[in-house]
Chain A
């Protein structure tokens, strides 16, 4: 069975550029989560969707971050403009409502 698929696996870009991270959840899962992981702050929830609707975006750090889920099989997390402090590993996870979350392998983002 295919797990959660994230792309790209690695992204290196210069500050000020727009960054788009992509996620394909496990088929049939109706909840999708975006996390950010850094050494300093650990694993933090940014936003989550249920049935494609954003439920809680209180973890989104600022207006430069936005997330969309146009359909049940695709979500994006966009940073515009990017800054060096956005460098982190970004994870997407999906689940059946209140079921265990299954994580992708992450996107390692470096903003120079």
Chain B
């Protein structure tokens, strides 16, 4: 029962272009969403989050969009840089605050020079 799904296992983007990573969820109780970036042999690093009361949150090159009716969120990275090459995980929780996170399977992003 995969409640958070990242249907693209991998994505390849040219340096300087926009990277768009997608995530779908099935549990309507999810209220808070996060994106993490992970390099090999390291722990996930928090990137950006969004509450269900918003439909967009922006932080520098990173923007997260939330479409509650479609149960879909996306992470936009622009412009993409070689250092962005990593595995990106979408995560969701039932509320803000201290709650367990449910993760997607991850999308491996490769930025080509």
Decide whether A and B assemble into one complex: no
